[in-house]
Structure formats: structure tokens, C-alpha cells
Amino acid sequence: MRNPACLSVVIIRVNQFRLIAGLILALGLLPLCGRATTVIAPDFDSLVKQADFVVRAVVKAKTAEWRNDGRNRHIITKVTLDVREIIKGAPALPLVLEMLGGRIGSDEMVVEGAPSFILGDEQILFIRGNGRQFFPLVAIMYGQFLVTHDSSSGQDFIQRSNGSPLYNVKDVTLPMTAANAIGLPAPRPLTAAEFAGKIRASLAQRPVAPPANAN
């Protein structure tokens, strides 16, 4: 069973004041209903299938700018990625992600619950709808995986966007509040190379054609 995660509606903090979420909806920026949107955690194969691109990349730069929307305006952030490996698709390079939210001076616009991009962080990203939707990752927080280097073993391990180790690709569907893996955890988390290999294996799967009609 898939686990829904609640992503708080965008909240604007302007000089430390919060505006009512309904104002955001009026801007037509988000395909949301009510005051929050429910993010359905995809299973691993669905995560791979939905992505336009899957890349392993390092966050190289972040810039925020105002974007006009008629009489209204909002903040967007552009995240420039140093792509180290392309696992799926053929993204245009340099790859720059564009997302709603950011900080300019004392004005800050926040998508609460969305993953962060920190300069120098290495990540495996499942990108979808870049420049076309308010956050360019499949299932938002479920589409970002952190690559962490373990100096003792010399290996790069995978963490989910909430910082929990990823032991099995079945665990990608767990809610972000879950600390435990499905079943007994493996002796160690998946390495970045293993995770990339499982993504490629999922891409290589082909649906089995139904048997031809014998008549």
C-alpha cells in the first residue's frame, strides 16, 4: 500500500509575516486543493518510470529571483547542477532546476516539506517537469536521494531526502517519518553504484506481451 505524505501548502514569509495559503492558490501557481496537497509515495519502478531524467549530480550554485505573474509576483530558485552521471534520459546541459520558493533579502517563500538543495551536496535526482511544475522532482521529497561518502570504507552510500539510510529500493515508498526499513535492514545501505544499477535494471524491464490469440 502506498503511503500518502502531507506537503504543506506554500507559505510566504515576507519580513517574518505569513500570508494565508489561499492567496497562493489564487495565484494559480500550484495544482493544489484546499490548504495542502497529498504526495503519494511511488514504488521504485513507478519512481523510475515517471522521471524525465535521473542524474547523479552535485549542487553547484543557487540563485533566487522574483518572477512576475500578472499583477502578482513570487520567488523562484534556480539550482545549477554539476552532472556526474546520467542514469536516465538526455537532459540539456548545463542542467538548471527551477522551483518555487527561495529567499531574497528579508523576503522568503517556502514550500514546507520540500527537500533542500545545499551547495556541494551530491544527490541522485528523479527529475520531472522541470520549468513546468512548481517542484521539478517526482513526488517531490521522494525524488531526491543524498549521496554520502563514508571515509572508513571509501564507499558512497544512499540516503533518502530525510537523511535515513536506504537499504532496499522497496523502502522508497515508506513515509518520510518512518525510521525503519521494510523487513530487516541490510548490513549496510545501498551504495550509489548499486542504486544506479537498480534504476537501470528497472528501465530495462519490458512488459510481457499477452499471448497471441490461437483462433
The whole-number average pLDDT for the span 74-89 is 97
Of 2.40.50.120, 2.60.40.10, 2.40.40.20, 3.40.50.800, the CATH number of 4-204 is: 2.40.50.120
Out of 27-41, 73-87, 106-120, pick the least confident: 27-41
Does residue 36 carry a pLDDT above 80? no
Contact (Cβ atoms closer than 8 angstroms) between residue 117 and residue 101: no
Alpha-carbon span 144 to 116, nearest angstrom: 9
**Residue 200 forms beta bridges with which residues?**
none
Say whether pLDDT at 14 is over 60: no
pLDDT digits (tens, 9 = 90+) for 52-62: 999 999 999 99
Q: Which residue's C-alpha cell is 538543495?
A: 117
Average pLDDT, the chain: 83
- Residue 84 is predicted with a pLDDT of 97
Shortest CA distance to 94 belongs to which of 86, 104, 102? Answer: 86
DSSP category for residue 165: B
Contact 144, 137 (CB under 8 A): yes
- Residue 164: its pLDDT value, please? 92
Look at residue 202 and give its three-state secondary structure.
Answer: helix
pTM: predicted TM-score of the whole model, two decimal places? 0.81
**Residue 213: predicted pLDDT:** 59
> Which helix or strand (DSSP H or E) is residue 144 part of?
strand 144-150
Residue with cell 534520459: 89
For residue 128, is pLDDT > 60?
yes
Cell numbers at residue 85, please?
552521471
Decide if pLDDT at 26 tops 60.
no
165 forms bridges with which residues in the sheet? 159
What pLDDT score does 209 carry?
55
What is the per-residue pLDDT across 60-71, written as a single tens digit (0 to 9) for each? 999 999 998 887
Residue ranges of domains in the chain: 4-204
Under DSSP, the state recorded for 1 is: -
Task: Give tens-digit pLDDT for 139-182.
Answer: 999 999 999 999 999 999 999 999 999 999 999 999 887 555 56
